[in-house]
Amino acid sequence: MTITFQDGELRHLLREHTQATQPGLLANEQDQTLVYPDWLGCGHKRDIALPSGVSLTLHHYHLKKELINLCEPDTSDCFEFVFSLTTQYVLNDELQLGQHQAYLMGPADRDSRWRELAGEDYLSVDVHLEPTLMAALLDSYEAVLPDGLRRILEGGADGDDVECGAAIAPTPITPAIEMALQQILHCPYQGLTQKLYLEAKSLELIALFMEAFQETTAAPGRLNRDECDRLHHAQQILRDNLQNPPSILHLARQVGLNDRKLKEGFRQVFNTTVFSYLTQQRLEKACQLLAQQYPVATVASAVGYASPTAFSGAFRRQFGVTPKSYQLGQRFRA
């Protein structure tokens, strides 16, 4: 079962539940924890306001039901750095933001559709910055800023010319970033010392993000023959395992590459991402099975989708029709 929330409805629900069951968690306006009701999941979101225009949200929860959040642009004009440790999102039904990734969103980028999956552990840290602080901090990184972010900073807070609905600069979480995240999640201090400590660690996270982003966006080197062969091997593994494909890390290990070289190489050789290629192959196989008049649910399972609903959505986005409509068309054509 999937539950859809309009912008702000989920937080309102969590706040009402917390007020009714654990009102003490809302007593401090600068440090509040919102608790999930049992029917929806378990865990919490914790919002911490810090000095100098910085705030944190710590997410630690496990959902019993799949959620969709329909978000509108944030009127606060904040920038948001998201550091995902065990969290997986599907953005606008296409882009999957996986575990151990960090990414950046501007105010306009929150006009989007976020899908959160049931049965997953969600552990992440969000760092929010006011635009003036963001601009001051990133002066020294101007040459490597993503185009969308640069246009926002140069054009003011409106960002009218920036395409909405996409996270900026997905970047792997490095060991240094993970250490800072763990220090935030397990902060041993209280009161003013806690706030100063968390603010310092938040700014450290942003600096580490920019450093990692620079390394990620460095021009990839030319691939040698052996690396090309390994990439074609990875391509074949995906085609042979549509129902239960390996993760990026496992696929990279299978073919003897690191995950970064695998992702960069896939773009160079096949002009697409690993995830997009897998989706394309799944849907092409699905077309073959549907033409043979297999039930839609059977086809969805055969090509690795967790539910017929998820499969139907991906199929419709790719081909403009539902699997059933496609199947009927093939039957009449025959």
Domain parsing of the chain, residue ranges: 2-216, 225-333
Burial of 267 (0-12, 13-18, 19+ CB in 10 A): middle
Q: Coil, strand, or helix at residue 332? A: helix
pLDDT in tens, 283-293: 999 999 999 99
Considering the chain, what percentage of its residues have pLDDT values greater than 90? 44
- The more confident residue out of 208 and 112 is 208
Q: Coil, strand, or helix at residue 101? A: strand
CB atoms closer than 10 angstroms to residue 215: 11
- The more confident residue out of 138 and 99 is 99
Please tell me the pTM assigned to this model. Answer: 0.63
CATH number of 2-216: 2.60.120.280
Over residues 193-209, the mean pLDDT reads: 92
DSSP string, 189-204: --HHHHHHHHHHHHHH
Q: What is the pLDDT of residue 164?
A: 36
- Six token digits for residue 299: 């086809």
Over residues 12-34, the mean pLDDT reads: 96
* Residue type for position 256: G
Per-residue pLDDT band for 146 (boundaries 50, 70, 90) equals: low
pLDDT in tens, 248-292: 889 999 999 988 889 888 888 887 888 888 988 999 999 999 999
Strands, DSSP E only, in 159-312? 168-172
Provide φ and ψ at 116, rounded to 5°. -115, 135
Q: Rounded CA gap, 58 and 33, in Å?
A: 9
Q: Under 8 Å CB-to-CB from 19, ≥6 apart: which residues?
A: 26
Cα-Cα-Cα-Cα dihedral sign, residues 251, 253, 256, 261:
positive
Domain topology for 225-333: Arc Repressor Mutant, subunit A (1.10.10)
CA 47 to chain centre: 20
- The more confident residue out of 78 and 187 is 187
| Residue in the structure block whose two tokens are 């929010």 | 128
Provide φ and ψ at 216, rounded to 5°. -65, -35
